[in-house]
A and B are shown apart, each in its own frame.
Chain A
Amino acid sequence: MSYIVKPRFHHPQLQKNDLGYTRRDYEGTLTTLCGGCGHDSISAAIIHAVHEMSLAPHQLAKVSGIGCSSKIPSYFLERSHGFNSVHGRMPSIATGANLANRELYYLGISGDGDTASIGLGQFCHIVRRRINMLYIVANNGTYGLTKGQLSATADLGSKTKSGEESQYDNIDLVSLAIDLGASFVARSFSGDKEQLVPLIQAGLSHRGFALIDVISPCVTFNNTPLSAHGYKNTWENNVVLSEIDFVPMRKEITARYSAGKDKEITLHDGSVIHLHKTGSGYDPGNRENALLHVNEYKKQGRIATGLLYINQDQSDFHELADTVNKPFNRLNEHDLCPGGEVLADINETFM
C-alpha cells in the first residue's frame, strides 16, 4: 500500500473520555498539508472537541468537497465514515446523507473556494434547507490546492504572496449565512483553539444548520503582512464579540458562572453553552444586531469572532418535511412497499 502509515506512538494525552476512548481513537491518517497550515489546527481542534464531548466517532459522518481544506477529514476521526466528494458540492452530499439517516452527526468541511465560488449556490441552499449539521469553512482567502489564486472571500486590497491584489469586494460567508436563515453562525480562527473547540462542540450539538467560518491561514500562498487572511492580520484585528464555554449533556456544571455577566443557553440535546458577555454586551440571539456588528467591524477592517448568532426555535429539514423518526436507511420492504393488493387497486384507476 502506498500511503504513509501513521506511527502509533504513545500519545501524551491518553486520558479516556466517557466512552473509554483516548484522543488517539479520534485521530486520522498523517496530514499531507504544508507545515504550519491553518487547516491542520482545525483538524486538531475537531479531534479535541469530539473526544472531549465523548461523541462516539462512528456516530458522526464527515463530508467535504475538494481543496486542501477538504482533504482534512482524512486526518481526523478515522473511525467515522467520510465522503470527499467533488468541488463545491459537499452540501448536496450532506443533504442526501442527512435525509438517509437523521440520527447521525454530520460534519462538513469545505474551503473558501469550495464554498464561496464554485459551491456558492449549494451553500446558500443548504442553509435555506436547514440541514442539521455543522459546516466548517477553512477560510484562507485563497485557493491553496491550485497554488494560490485569490478567492472570493479575499478582502478588497488583500495581497497574496505572488503580489496579486484583490480588486473586488469579498463575499462574507457569516453575513450571508445569517441572512439566509442559518440558526447557528460563528467565526473563529484556527490559531485560537480555546475559542474554536467549544464552538465546534456547540455547533455539533446545535439542532439545525450550524456554520463556523474559520480563518485558517495558508502559510504557503497567503500569509504575508498584506494578506487579510494571514496570521498577523487575524491576530491583530480579531474582535471577540462573545466567548463561550461548552458543557456537554449529562455533564455536571463545575465551573462557577456569575449570573449577571453570563448567559446560559441550553441546547436541544441538553448540553449547555455558557456565554461570557464581553464589554459590548453582545447578544447573539438577535439576527439584525448580528449582521450590524459583523458589518460594522468589517468596515473598520476588523474581524468579529465568537458565537455571532444562535436561534434555537427553528425547525430543521426533517421536521419541515415531516419525516418518520426511524432513519430511512433502516426502513425495509415491509415499511416501504405497498404490495400487490394495493397495486391491483391502482391498476383499476387506469382502466
Chain B
Amino acid sequence: MSRGKRAAGGRTGKTRKTAGVNNFVVKFANVNGSGSASANNLFAKAIFRMGIPVSPHNIFPSNIQGLPTWYEVRVNDKGFLGRREGVDLMVAVNEQTIVRDIESVVPDGYVLYDSSKALRPIRKDVNFLPIPLKDICLREFQHPGQRQLFQNIVYVGALATLLDIDFGILTGMISEQFRGKEKLILPNVHALELGYHYARDHFDCPLPIRLRPSRKARGKILMDGNTAIGLGCVYGGATVASWYPLTPSTSVVEAYGKYCKRLRIDPGTGKRKFAIVQAEDELAAIGIAIGAGWNGARAFTASSGPGVSLMQEFLGLAYFAEVPVVLFNIQRVGPSTGMPTRTQQGDLLSCAFASHGDTRQVLLFPSTPKECFEFAAGSFDIADRLQTPVIVMSDLELGMNEHVCDPLEWDDTGGYDRGKVLGGEQLEQMEEYGRYLDVDGDGVPWRTLPGAHPERGSYFTRGSSHDAMAAYTEDGNVYAEVMDRLARKFAGAGKVLPEPEIQADGASRGMIYFGTTAGAIPEVQHKFAKRGVRLDTLRIRSYPFHDAVSRFIEEHEIVYVIEQNRDAQLKSLLKIDCGANDGKMRSVLNYNGVVISADQIQEAILVDLPEAPEREQASA
C-alpha cells in the first residue's frame, strides 16, 4: 500500500471535455445483495441535496444475491439527465466484472477499486484510485456483516473527498435514515470518515471532475415513477388494488400500500379505506379490479409484459361490457420472460389492441414521476368518464429509477369525476333506462350500480353480444351498431386525455417521442442547436392520438419517431391511426434494454440529414 499521495489528476492531468465540474458519470459495479444499493443511493441523493441535477440508474440482474449489478449516476448541471455513454469514474468493487468495468472507463477517467487484493493494471490510460476497503473494514469492525456492508459506506466517504461532496449532508442523511435505530448512526458515520480520511491522505483531492453546490435542482424532488403511481392511486381515490408480484411493477402496489396505511385509515374506527388483494395470478388480479370497477369502486392492478399478456381476455370484456378499470403496465424487455430487469417500450401495440376482436384500449404515457402521479390519479376519472380500461404505460426505467422532477401538485378545488352514473333518485324520474343507450350522442352510455334502485336500472353485464338494453343478441346489425358506438366513444376520448406536448418553430423536420425517451430530448436539441440544426418536437401523452398529432405529421416533411422497441410500434400505430405516409416517417430505435441516449438519437438523425447546405435549410 502506497503511503505517499498519488497525483489524482492522472498522467496528463486533463479529463475528457465532456466531463468536468458538475458534469460527469460515476458508475458503481457491485455484487447483488452485498448491501451496495443503500450506499449508492446515499451518494446520489447527497449530490441532489447539493442542488445538482442527478440521474441514478439501477442496472440490476434478475437475481437476489450474487450476480453483478451496476448503479450509474449521471451528474449534469444543465439538467441533461438522459443516459450518457462512457464512465468518468468507475467504482469497481466486483471481481467478477472488474476487467470489463475498467474497459468501459473513458480515457483519463478514474477507477476506484479495493486494493486489499492486488490488481493487474490492465490499462495505462486511466487513473487508479486504490483503497483497501476490505482491510480497512476488517481492522475497524468486529461484526462479519458490518465488515462486508461498511465497505460500501467507506467508498462513499472516499468519494466525498474525491468529488467534494458536502460531508455534512452525508452525515445528516445517515441520521435521517437510522432515526429510531440510533445505535447504527455512529458506525455508519465512522465508516464514512474512514473513507473520507483515506482519500484525503492518499490522493490529490478533489479530482477535476467534482461537484459544486448549485441551484439547478433546488426545489425539485427525486422520486421513482412507481412510488409516484402508488401515491397517485391514493390521491385518485382507488380503494381496491389487486396484483400478482412481477418485476418491475411490484413497487407500485407496495407504495400504494405504504401510503394507504398512513393516509387511508378512518380516524374514528382505525379501519381501512382500502383493500389490497395479492391475487393468485394476473387473470384474477385484473378480474378483481374489473369486479370492483363494475360495482363502483375505483380499482387498479399493476403488472408488466407477462402479466399483461395473461390479462388479455378480461381486458376485452371490460372494453366490450364498458367497465372502468385501471392497469399500470410497467414495461420490461420482452418477448416472453425476456430481460426482466431491463427496460423497453415494447407493449405499445399489444396494449393498444389488447384482446381479441376489434378492441382498442386507452393508453397514457407518463415520462416523469410527476406525470406518473398525475396520470395515475387522473386515470380513474378517465376510466369512469369513458367506462373503459385505461392502461398507463410506464416502464422499468421510469418506474424503478429515481428522477429529478418538479414537486407533485394537487388541486383541492376539483373533486373526482365519476362519469355517467345514475343514482336511485335519477332512475326514479326516468321513463326508460337502457344501459347501452347513447342518449348524449357521445358514445358514452349511462351506467347504474347494483343496489341503486329497488325496481329500476338493473341490467345484465356480459361479454357476449348485447343490444342497447344490455340484452343478449345475435342480430348482426345490432352488434355492429354497438361496435360503431364503441368506435365513436373511442374517437372522442381525446377530450378527456392529456394532450401532446408540442414545441414547433416552423422547422421542416420533427421528432415524435413519448415516455422515457423524453429524458434525452433536451440534450438532443442542445446538440443540434450547436450544429445549427433545428427540429420541432411532439411528445405523445395518450392514445387515441389527438388531432394535433396528425397535424404535426402533415406539417413536417420528415418525422423521426423515437422509441425503444425493435419493431417501431409507435410508428405503426401512427400509420394506422393518423394515415401517416411511410415515406416521411423515419424510426430511431433502441432496444438493448437500457434507455436511449441523446448521442444515439443525434447520430441516427445526423446521418439522415441532408448535406451541409441543405442542412441550413432544414434548420430554417
Contacts and interface: CB of A to CB of B under 8 A. Distances in A.
A351 to B, nearest CB: 6
A122 to B, nearest CB: 6
B263 A322 contact: no
Contacts of B357: none
B474 interface: yes
Contacts of A350: 221-223, 407
Interface string A113-129: 00000000110110001
A323 B293 contact: no
A2 B473 contact: yes
Interface in B257-297: 259, 263-264, 266, 269, 271-277, 279-281, 283-297
Given A84-B460, A125-B280, A347 B449 contact: no
B314 interface: yes
B289 A96 contact: yes
A173 B569 CA distance: 46
A78 B458 contact: yes
A328 B478 contact: no
Contact of B294 (A93, A339, A340): A93
B137 interface: no
A343 B297 CA distance: 23
B475 interface: yes
B57 to A, nearest CB: 17
A287 interface: no
Interface in B315-358: 317
Contacts of A121: 280-281, 284
Interface footprint category on B: 35 or more
B81 interface: no
A106 B217 CA distance: 53
A84 B478 CA distance: 19
A62 to B, nearest CB: 8
B235 interface: yes
Given A96-B287, A338-B235, A81 B221 contact: no
Contacts of A29: 471
B452 interface: yes
B461 A92 contact: no
Contacts of A337: 234-235, 237, 410, 416
A255 interface: no
Contacts of B313: 86, 89
- Greatest chain B CB density within 10 A among A91, A99, A125, A340 is at A99
Contacts of A73: 460
A103 interface: yes
Contact of A100 (B231, B297, B460, B475): B297
A259 interface: no
Interface of B: 49, 220-223, 231, 234-235, 237, 239-240, 242, 259, 263-264, 266, 269, 271-277, 279-281, 283-297, 299, 313-314, 317, 407-412, 415-416, 448-455, 458-464, 467, 469, 471-475, 478
Given A59-B451, A328-B240, 16 more contacts: A2-B475, A56-B454, A81-B461, A83-B294, A86-B314, A92-B279, A96-B287, A96-B293, A96-B295, A100-B294, A324-B271, A325-B269, A328-B292, A328-B297, A333-B416, A336-B264
